[in-house]
């Protein structure tokens, strides 16, 4: 399943803002002072750790926006698994622009590759089963579109992109509505025909109540493996089942084995360590 590129129009504002954040009001003092304006160089983008790459278009755009004479030619595409020391791409062009955009390009690339790698580690842990790994809305403010893209690059799928593309009924909503049934019915009465409803439950009793009303998906939050197994049996295909809570590459296989459709992990976007990628001249 090939990965779809994000159109430039979606990433350009982020990259421009990031370059300006790093250049401030005086620009790259070090390179301007030391590097001749006409020096052209070639540098290798190399992974220092194994992982899955994401963000090459963004990195390329960072270099190109600083100086259109810089080109990044990639040996890999987003979603590729990279071994340490492996060359990801070659940047060629004026040395000043390469040094000036280096940190911006790498800040995007390392973060997004970190997310892709974290996602891939869990995706691989459950390979062979039907469970898909999904992210949450716990993303970095301003970077949701690209972080969700990185999850896809790692082989994961995306949960909601915002408060407005699906209904997710949580404990507080249920408490306010008075019951699971009331919450679901209020939602159903209001939403558009292309909006799905997911309900979060903590107990099998709550699950039962959801099933009696119906929902498109059910988030089984912090359940034991036993509870998950039983939940899957109770749901019996009438809704998508999603398990969440303490998901790691170690815990995921057992959770996947319970038969849930989705395993969601907030840390993929809020806490995945950056992948160490460097630029070597």
Catalytic residues: 103, 138, 170, 200, 221
Using CB under 8 A, which of 71, 77, 234, 240 touches its own copies?
240
By CB under 8 A, the residues from 66 to 95 that bind its own copies are 66-67, 95
- CB atoms < 10 A from the CB of 269, how many? 25
Interface residues for its own copies in 182-201 (CB under 8 A)?
Answer: 183, 186-187, 189-196, 198
CA dihedral 65, 69, 70, 76 (to 10 degrees): 100
**Given 39, 225, 233, 254, the residue binding its own copies (CB under 8 A):** 39
Toward its own copies, which CB reaches closer, 14 or 116? 14
C-alpha 93/C-alpha 72 separation (Å) is 9
* CB closer to its own copies, 142 vs 226: 142
Give yes or no for residue 274 binding its own copies (CB under 8 A).
yes
Judged by DSSP in three states, 211 sits in helix
User: What are residue 218's DSSP bridge partners?
Assistant: 199, 241
> With CB under 8 A, what is the number of residues at the site for its own copies?
106
- Mask 138-177, x = binds its own copies (CB under 8 A)? xxxxxxxx--x--------xxxxxxxxxxxxxxxxx-xxx
Are 14 and 143 in contact by the 8 Å Cβ rule? The answer is yes
**CA 138, CA 188: separation in Å to the nearest integer?**
25
13-21, 73-81, 221-229, 252-260 -> range binding its own copies (CB under 8 A):
13-21
- Measured CA to CA, the distance from residue 180 to residue 206 in angstroms comes to 7
**Cα 265 to Cα 138: distance, rounded to the nearest angstrom:** 9
Stretch that binds its own copies, among 44-52, 99-107, 223-231, 251-259 (CB under 8 A): 99-107
Can you tell me which of 261, 263, 268, 277 binds its own copies, judged by CB under 8 A? 261
């Amino acid at each position: 399943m090939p990965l779809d590129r994000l159109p430039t129009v979606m990433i350009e504002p982020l990259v421009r803002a990031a370059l300006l954040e790093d250049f401030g009001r005086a620009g790259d003092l070090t390179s301007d002072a030391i590097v001749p304006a006409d020096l052209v160089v070639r540098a290798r983008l190399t992974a220092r750790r194994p992982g899955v790459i994401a963000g090459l278009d963004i990195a390329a755009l960072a270099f190109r926006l600083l100086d259109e004479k810089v080109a990044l030619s990639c040996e890999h595409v987003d979603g590729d698994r990279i071994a340490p020391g492996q060359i990801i791409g070659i940047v060629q062009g004026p040395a000043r622009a390469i040094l000036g955009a280096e940190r911006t390009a790498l800040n995007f690339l390392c973060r997004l590759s970190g997310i892709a790698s974290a996602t891939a580690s869990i995706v691989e842990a459950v390979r062979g089963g039907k469970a898909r790994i999904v992210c949450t809305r716990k993303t970095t403010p301003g970077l949701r579109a690209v972080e969700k893209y990185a999850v896809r690059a790692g082989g994961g799928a995306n949960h909601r992109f915002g408060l407005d593309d699906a209904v997710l009924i949580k404990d507080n909503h249920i408490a306010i509505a008075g019951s699971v049934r009331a919450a679901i019915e209020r939602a159903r009465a209001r939403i558009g025909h292309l909006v799905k409803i997911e309900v979060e439950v903590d107990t099998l009793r709550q699950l039962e109540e959801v099933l009696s009303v119906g929902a498109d998906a059910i988030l089984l939050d912090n359940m034991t493996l036993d509870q998950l197994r039983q939940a899957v049996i109770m749901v019996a295909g009438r809704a998508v089942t999603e398990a969440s809570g303490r998901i790691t590459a170690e815990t995921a296989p057992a959770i996947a084995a319970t038969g849930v459709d989705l395993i969601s992990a907030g840390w993929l976007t809020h806490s995945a360590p950056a992948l160490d990628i460097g630029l070597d001249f």
